[in-house]
Amino acid sequence: MICMDQRTPSPPLYETLAAGVTTLIDNGLLRPGMRARSVRAFAAQHGVSLTTAVQAYRLLEDRGVLEARPKSGFYVTQRSHRQRELPTASQPPQRASTVAVSNPVFSVLSYAGDPSYAPLGCAIPSAGLLAAERLDRHLARCARVHGRHYNIYADPHGDAELRGQISARALRLGHAVPPEGVLITNGCTEALNIALSVTTRPGDTVAIESPTYFGLLQVLEARGLRALELPTDPTSGVDVKALDKALGKRRVAACLLASSFNNPLGSRIDDARKVAIIRVLTRYRVPLIEDDIYGDISFGDDRPRPFAAISPTADIILCSSFSKTIAPGYRIGWLAANRRHDEILAAKFALSLSGAALPQKAMADFLKSGGYDAHLRRIRKVFADNIDRMRRVVDRSFPRDTRMTDPKGGFVLWLELPDGFDSDTLYQRAIRERICFVPGGLFTAGRGYRNCLRLSCSHDWDARVERSVARLGELAHELLA
Amino acid sequence: MICMDQRTPSPPLYETLAAGVTTLIDNGLLRPGMRARSVRAFAAQHGVSLTTAVQAYRLLEDRGVLEARPKSGFYVTQRSHRQRELPTASQPPQRASTVAVSNPVFSVLSYAGDPSYAPLGCAIPSAGLLAAERLDRHLARCARVHGRHYNIYADPHGDAELRGQISARALRLGHAVPPEGVLITNGCTEALNIALSVTTRPGDTVAIESPTYFGLLQVLEARGLRALELPTDPTSGVDVKALDKALGKRRVAACLLASSFNNPLGSRIDDARKVAIIRVLTRYRVPLIEDDIYGDISFGDDRPRPFAAISPTADIILCSSFSKTIAPGYRIGWLAANRRHDEILAAKFALSLSGAALPQKAMADFLKSGGYDAHLRRIRKVFADNIDRMRRVVDRSFPRDTRMTDPKGGFVLWLELPDGFDSDTLYQRAIRERICFVPGGLFTAGRGYRNCLRLSCSHDWDARVERSVARLGELAHELLA
């Protein structure tokens, strides 16, 4: 509806040609490392002059989409957008804040779940990508065959076979937790609630990354906890010195960090830094709650190890779930701990007694039957490609000084626009055009990140997604004009 | 293992014969109101003297199992145990207590869920009684047909169709709550957590019945709430004057009562008393959280109305679930409220984001397809019969001055033995003999009810259940000797 009557002038021909090449790359027909046609062949193919073809290739080179190799021609660059700077490392205020984020979050969520809006808001994969048909068949079978046996209040710890499967998978990462140390929860959110309930009391302070997932802020808000936000680098994660300094200044009841690819930065903490963080926490006797929900979506072959694998004797409660990789609709999460088992069980019992029995049994059967790892390999590749494509569209659509993350896992991008940019206004305009994303202000208990936004790449890449990202870029241009 | 070598002397013949008649009644072959054989026919049938037959019938008359009607013969009494007194109305201390009950509860629960123990501990119906095969088939179908559509983070409110079904069922009880006022939860326990989270802050006091369900005490404990236990009559429920007096004395953040057939007393609050309770709560501006989980298991035809139906404009949050009537394994509960909708949604989101989608859809389909009311009628009758049989066994097995409840709904019996009786010791001995029940001390945050115990009649009545109740009676005799 907006701007219906405003005609934009046609772009020059070489720009249109360049966009066509980018589309071939975005659609996967041209892949990173592949050789592009020669300039001459390109000109002949499109029936344009050699000058126009050269202009188009220069533009693509400028944009980092193609790279010239001496005496060899043009190639699709491995990552075609190196020129974009990363967002600055965060510098949140050094005080704990009470949390009150719920109201704006619900507005965003109502659009994020509405399929009539372009899905840049919701951070769960589309059902098509998840391809959980085999899991559903296991559930159907369990309901038919085991219904009567499982129509009980199950063990509050959760299904024993499922806990065994989770324990075995953890061991492959070097995280030795016996099935008895695993407790099944209603998604990762309940796991975080339980972990916080056994480590904190209302009014306590919890140290977290900044920016951080708004759902986590809501959990802190509901539990009456204060958030101490830590400086966090978009690539390497939380600042260890800042953590040390913060813990020296005030009592912190728990530290809550993403194990890997945190939401929204996608930062990855390397093993050495993980060791350093644990050392600091141990010195101050602060338990770590780690949220490993994105750990399995690593773009490389080396799935990062959680803190609990690196420091097996430290005071760590690991929380995770299957929601990001296979079954958001099943609501199966878990936590794994090497102490406080009685309190954890009591907390689970007091929150929801026990979990639904048949979905747990179905998940156990699904994991046992194999194929989950092949599935993970497949979706990792999809998400890596999606992130790549979205970065490219942001690159060519957003204002020149827009910074963006370059995540090595997960499926969200974090954009930082110049100071003074108001992503809430962008959000209002985008919603009117049926495009949903999450404005940056939701990712802090403080007042920062108003110039930032999170884009989700968790849905199948299609023309609508591409168009929507491009349109957001146009709107951002307009807002900055 | 216990008493293996101690032979008890054989009982007299007339006692054995009387026990045989009681068994016929307990097994339903002789029903209340039916005419028994004549003494002469009974003697001939068993090949005993007329004197022995008369002795057996006298004993049965003494025990209230048979009644003589002039010029007509002997009949099975309508309720054969009128002579047992009801437990005394509770008189808990008039101060709020902190709650710490979790540890003993888990010991009991571990046995209650173990099928090698006689099931007098666990207050959920056996899977055979629940007969949820049709519901399971709906789940199987949903998983096959709708899996992809439902593999999302569902609306945190829960499945719209299910909320519509629950709203329609509520309306039949005169409780007008639109689907938008219903929120689906992970069982009634999560509903209670949400209701408490929007009405209380840690450190607040919540007024509750005494004795009350230990799971509720655990929820209060986990939320850092104090329990103010109210005097409660085993038949008519909480004492209104005592409630009024208590609220006049101290700030109470919420009052939490069972709508009907509370666990463990099975008391039923009539409509007039419900009105009076709401009047008192409204005067002190104290919200009511009502737990209607046993409401559908009314032995009479008149299913009692919840508070919310009687006082539609009062500040009431109704909590319930399908766990006691059809599907404890599905973990589907709900709450219904006429205000605080935003806070309730935020609390749900912070606790567990949303519920598992397919089980909710299956439950909606099951309710729509009809037959749930026929199912309820069937299990009500089973539980009424079970309660009747168990009362009879208690009557003939337990020490003479044992009091017991006479519930008109639900499936638990509450026994009160003489002061000084220690149900914890009985529990220890019973567990050694593979019999589980719940000792009375778990039903209070204080120190009362050590002379009480709860027996569950939620499983199919069989010889093992009968033998176990009788054996508990013998053990109680021994402990009092």
DSSP per-residue letters across B400-452: TT-EE---SBSSEEEEEPPTT--HHHHHHHHHHTTEE-EEGGGG-SSS--TTE
Contact A358 B355 (CB under 8 A): no
Whether B106 is in a domain gets the answer no
Using an 8 Å CB-CB cutoff, list chain A residues near B105.
Answer: 349
pLDDT band at residue A9 using 50, 70 and 90 as cut-offs: low
β-pairing, A288-291 vs A316-321, is: parallel
Whether B93 is in a domain gets the answer no
CB A226 within 8 A of CB A375: no
d(CA B102, CA A245): 38
DSSP secondary structure string for all residues of B74-134: EEE-SSTTTTSPPPPPP---SSEE----HHHHHHHHHHHT-TTSEESS--S--HHHH--HH
pLDDT > 90: what percent of chain B? 73
Q: What type of residue is A342?
A: D
Q: Locate tokens 């207050």: which residue?
A: B123
By Cβ distance, the residue of A190, A329, A354 closest to B351 is A190
Please state the rounded mean pLDDT for residues B420-438: 95
Inform me whether the C-beta atom of residue A144 falls under 8 Å from chain B C-beta atoms: yes
pLDDT band at residue B152 using 50, 70 and 90 as cut-offs: confident
How high is the pLDDT of residue B102?
Answer: 66
CA nearest neighbour of B397 among B454, B342, B468: B468
Using an 8 Å CB-CB cutoff, list chain A residues near B152.
Answer: 113, 124, 127, 328-329
Whether B114 is in a domain gets the answer no
How high is the pLDDT of residue A27?
Answer: 76
Q: Do residues B340 and B390 share a domain?
A: no
- In degrees, rounded to 5, the angle at the alpha carbon of residue B280 between the alpha carbons of residues B275 and B281 is 95
Domain end marker among A76, A95, A118? A76
pLDDT band at residue B29 using 50, 70 and 90 as cut-offs: confident
Contact B215 A153 (CB under 8 A): no
Among A55-69, B10-24, B123-137, top mean pLDDT goes to B123-137
Examine the pLDDT at A7 and tell me if it is beyond 80: no
Whether A20 is in a domain gets the answer yes
CA of A203, closest CA in chain B: separation in Å?
10
Please state the rounded mean pLDDT for residues B15-38: 85
Task: Please provide residue A392's backbone torsions phi and psi, each rounded to the nearest 5 degrees.
Answer: -70, -40
d(CA A163, CA A180): 8
Q: What is the pLDDT of residues A341-397, one digit of tens each?
A: 999 999 999 999 999 999 999 999 999 999 899 999 999 989 998 998 999 899 989
A31: number of Cβ within 10 Å: 11
Examine the pLDDT at B70 and tell me if it is beyond 90: no
Q: Do residues B43 and B72 share a domain?
A: yes
Using an 8 Å CB-CB cutoff, list chain B residues near A331.
Answer: 352-356
Residue among A114, A133, A136 with most chain B CBs within 10 A, to mutate: A136
d(CA A448, CA A469): 23
Residues with Cβ within 8 Å of B260's Cβ and at least 6 positions away in sequence, in order, are B268, B269, B292, B294, B295, B298, B304, B306, B409
Which residues make beta-bridge pairs with A185?
Answer: A333
CB B375 within 8 A of CB B231: no
DSSP secondary structure string for all residues of B293-353: TTTT-BSSSSPPPPHHHHSTTS-EEEEEESTTTT-TTT-EEEEEESS-HHHHHHHHHHHHS
CA nearest neighbour of B324 among B333, B311, B312, B335: B333
d(CA A236, CA B242): 62
Among B151-155, B194-198, B381-385, B402-406, the minimum mean pLDDT is found in B151-155
Among A12-26, A242-256, B76-90, B383-397, the minimum mean pLDDT is found in B76-90
B235: number of Cβ within 10 Å: 18
Q: Locate tokens 């709020």: which residue?
A: B96
Whether A90 is in a domain gets the answer no
Residue among B213, B331, B366 with most chain A CBs within 10 A, to mutate: B331
How high is the pLDDT of residue A4?
Answer: 36
How high is the pLDDT of residue B72?
Answer: 86
How high is the pLDDT of residue A105?
Answer: 81
A24: CATH: 1.10.10.10
Using an 8 Å CB-CB cutoff, list chain B residues near A355.
Answer: 186, 331
How high is the pLDDT of residue A2?
Answer: 34
Contact A329 B141 (CB under 8 A): no
How high is the pLDDT of residue B468?
Answer: 96
> Positive or negative, the Cα torsion across B466, B471, B472, B473?
positive
Using an 8 Å CB-CB cutoff, list chain B residues near A135.
Answer: 147
d(CA A124, CA A326): 10
Please state the rounded mean pLDDT for residues B53-69: 84
Rg (CA), chain A: 24
Please state the rounded mean pLDDT for residues A218-242: 95
Average per-residue pLDDT for chain A: 91
CA nearest neighbour of B355 among B190, B195, B215: B190
A426, A428, A432, A438: CA torsion to nearest 10: 70
CB A182 within 8 A of CB A320: no
Q: Do residues B159 and B198 share a domain?
A: yes
The SS3 of residue A265 is coil
Contact A144 B137 (CB under 8 A): yes
pLDDT > 90: what percent of chain A? 73
Chain A's closest residue to B326, CA to CA, is A151
Chain A's closest residue to B102, CA to CA, is A346
Using an 8 Å CB-CB cutoff, list chain A residues near B140.
Answer: 139-141, 143-144
d(CA B446, CA B426): 20
Q: Which residue has the higher pLDDT, A124 or B176?
A: B176
Q: Do residues B440 and B467 share a domain?
A: yes
Q: What is the pLDDT of residues A103-153, one digit of tens each?
A: 778 888 888 878 899 999 988 898 889 989 999 999 999 999 999 999 988
Q: Do residues B314 and B426 share a domain?
A: no
Among A48-57, B30-39, B116-125, B162-171, top mean pLDDT goes to B162-171
How high is the pLDDT of residue B8?
Answer: 46
Task: Please provide residue B74's backbone torsions phi and psi, each rounded to the nearest 5 degrees.
Answer: -100, 140
Examine the pLDDT at A5 and tell me if it is beyond 70: no
Q: Which residue has the higher pLDDT, B400 or A454?
A: A454
pLDDT band at residue B79 using 50, 70 and 90 as cut-offs: low
DSSP secondary structure string for all residues of A292-309: -TTTT-BSSSSPPPPHHH
Half-sphere exposure of residue A381, counting CA atoms within 13 Å on the CB side? 7
Q: Which residue has the higher pLDDT, A91 or A168?
A: A168
Whether B104 is in a domain gets the answer no
Three state DSSP letters for B163-189: HHHHHHHHHHCCCCCCHHHEEEEEHHH
Whether B188 is in a domain gets the answer yes
Q: Do residues A149 and A55 share a domain?
A: no
Which residues make beta-bridge pairs with A439?
Answer: A453
Whether B81 is in a domain gets the answer no
First to last CA, chain B: 21
Using an 8 Å CB-CB cutoff, list chain A residues near B329.
Answer: 150-154, 356-358
d(CA B402, CA A468): 74
Give residues 174 to 233 of A whose Cβ lies within 8 Å of B.
186-187, 189-190, 193, 197, 201-202, 215, 218-219, 221-224
Using an 8 Å CB-CB cutoff, list chain B residues near A190.
Answer: 186, 351-352
Please state the rounded mean pLDDT for residues A306-322: 97
d(CA B231, CA B391): 24
Q: Do residues B265 and B182 share a domain?
A: yes
- Torsion region of B174: left, alpha or beta (phi above 0 gives left; psi -120 to 50 gives alpha): left
What is the domain count for chain B? 3
> Which spans in A369-422 are helix H?
372-397
Range(s) of the domain holding residue A40: 13-76
CA of B357, closest CA in chain A: separation in Å?
5
A315: CATH: 3.40.640.10
Examine the pLDDT at B274 and tell me if it is beyond 50: yes
B412: CATH: 3.90.1150.10
β-pairing, A66-69 vs B237-238, is: unpaired
CA nearest neighbour of B122 among B138, B137, B111, B132: B111
Q: Do residues B160 and B228 share a domain?
A: yes
d(CA B355, CA A333): 12
Contact A345 B106 (CB under 8 A): yes
Domain end marker among B372, B394, B417? B372
Examine the pLDDT at B5 and tell me if it is beyond 70: no
Inform me whether the C-beta atom of residue A356 falls under 8 Å from chain B C-beta atoms: yes
Using an 8 Å CB-CB cutoff, list chain A residues near B362.
Answer: 143
Q: Do residues A143 and A199 share a domain?
A: yes
Domain end marker among B372, B396, B422? B372
Q: What is the pLDDT of residues B282-292, one digit of tens each?
A: 999 999 999 99
d(CA B265, CA B407): 7
How high is the pLDDT of residue B83?
Answer: 60
Q: Token pair for residue B283?
A: 């005067």
Q: Token pair for residue B198?
A: 């929007």
d(CA B426, CA B394): 15
Q: Do residues B427 and B314 share a domain?
A: no
CA nearest neighbour of B340 among B207, B224, B196, B204: B196
Q: Interface pTM (ipTM) of the complex? A: 0.84
Q: Do residues B212 and B354 share a domain?
A: yes
CB A225 within 8 A of CB A270: no
Q: What is the pLDDT of residues B221-251, one digit of tens each?
A: 999 999 999 999 999 999 999 999 999 999 9
CA nearest neighbour of A147 among B308, B353, B366, B92: B366
Q: Do residues A216 and A342 share a domain?
A: yes
How high is the pLDDT of residue A80?
Answer: 45
How high is the pLDDT of residue A6?
Answer: 40
The H or E element spanning position B219 is helix B214-222
- Residue A336, CA distances (Å) to A166, A296, B1, B21 in order: 9, 16, 39, 56
Q: Locate tokens 């006082």: which residue?
A: B311
